[in-house]
Amino acid sequence: MNNFKYLKADTPAAAIAAVADNAASNFVAGGTNLIDLWKYDLTHPDRLVDINGLSELKTITELPDGGLRLGALVSNAATAHHAIVRERYPLLSRAILAGATAQIRNSATNGGNLLQRTRCYYFYDAASPCNKRNPGSGCPAIEGHNRLHAILGYSQKCIAVFPSDMCVALAALEAVVQVAGPDGSREISFSDFHRLPGDHPERDNTLQPNELITSIDLPPTGFAPHHSYLKLRDRNSYAFALVSVATGFELENKTIKRARIALGGVAHQPWRVSAAEDLLVGKAPTAQSFGQAAGIILANAKGFGHNDFKIELARRAIIRNGLMALNPSSQRPGAQPSL
């Protein structure tokens, strides 16, 4: 029997104060990841702080600079179907809708999505060693079943990948995460939010334990005219990405003026390489250009046996998704361009 204390916070300050003096405290939002982890015996909070009463975190509002603020407690479904998100940030909408199921997206929140944990089989098996769950115990995935695992940014301690779809689009959009803690508020650029495993795979991100995500801010540019999210997986629904790609670009005189490419399912964080995006500037959006960008993105990729196929899969996905971004309506099933 797990005994725990349940508290309901009615202000962000009360929520932060409720976790400040107890390292075994957890916020709970939609509960779709936290409660699973608890049931699998992978986490044991002794204080659960329910943040669902924080109405100020439940709105989507336009920002003075033309951007959009997504409240941390807005559900993934409400975000994906919001009129402004669909019109100006369809890349985000498509990425969210590629994830999980309608029921899960209705409960899952934006803040929780950023903090969901890896789906590594060994992490989810409480009887198995895992440096992420139990630092110093080892990483059986390196020599074991690693079909889902990283080809980039891994370390000798961990080859797990971060499984979110939403966050791949947020990386491409260069979102900013707003957080509040006992010492006030701060913002974290999306590229600094998720960590590589290095020597501390137990730490997924740069959020401090007693900090609350309040919102995720989108910049004014949403790449609506030219965007695409491609998720490749073992089943067409209810499966995490083997490889996913979020692509957005702006065109001027038929050449690329600005480009963003982020990959999911390949590393401990959404993966971007600015040299590849810079290479595309001034080039026509062709299979050859996207192939050159893929070459840069995957230059240091390495498989661990079962996941070797991901390198070629990612290369092809980058090219195909770049061409799909030319004509976003081509993303309907059965209407994809041939290479």
Ligand X SMILES: Cc1cc2nc3c(=O)[nH]c(=O)nc-3n(C[C@H](O)[C@H](O)[C@H](O)COP(=O)(O)OP(=O)(O)OC[C@H]3O[C@@H](n4cnc5c(N)ncnc54)[C@H](O)[C@@H]3O)c2cc1C
Query: What is the contact surface with ligand X in residues (CB under 6 A)?
Result: 26-34, 36, 51, 72, 76, 99-100, 104, 107-109, 111-113, 115-116, 163-166, 212-213, 240
| CB of 289 or CB of 307, closer to ligand X | 307
| CB of 79 or CB of 289, closer to ligand X | 79
Among 237, 270, 232, 229, smallest CA distance to 100 is for 237
Determine the length of the chain: 339
d(CA 76, CA 307): 29
Find the shortest distance in angstroms from Cβ 235 to ligand X.
10
Strand partners, 260: 248
| CB of 213 or CB of 319, closer to ligand X | 213
Find the shortest distance in angstroms from Cβ 15 to ligand X.
8
For residues 72 and 115, the answer to whether their CB atoms sit within 8 Å is no
**Would you state the structure tokens that stand for residue 120, as one six-digit string?**
């590594």
Q: How far from the centroid of its chain's Cα atoms is residue 76's Cα?
A: 12
Find the shortest distance in angstroms from Cβ 78 to ligand X.
12
DSSP 3-state of 96: helix
Find the shortest distance in angstroms from Cβ 100 to ligand X.
3
Provide the residue type at 135 as one letter: P
CA dihedral 164, 170, 174, 179 (to 10 degrees): -80
| CB of 226 or CB of 272, closer to ligand X | 272
- Which residue in the shown chain puts its C-beta closest to ligand X? 112
| CB of 96 or CB of 301, closer to ligand X | 96
Find the shortest distance in angstroms from Cβ 190 to ligand X.
15
DSSP state, residue 209: T
In sequence order, the 6+-apart residues with CB closer than 8 A to the CB of 252 are: none
Find the shortest distance in angstroms from Cβ 241 to ligand X.
7
Find the shortest distance in angstroms from Cβ 275 to ligand X.
27
Phi, psi angles (nearest 5°) of residue 276: -70, -40
| CB of 28 or CB of 60, closer to ligand X | 28
Among 75, 79, 324, 333, smallest CA distance to 223 is for 324
Find the shortest distance in angstroms from Cβ 31 to ligand X.
4
| CB of 72 or CB of 314, closer to ligand X | 72
Number of C-beta neighbours around residue 82 at 10 A? 18
Helix, strand, coil fractions of the chain, as percent rounded to 5: 30, 20, 50
| CB of 71 or CB of 248, closer to ligand X | 71
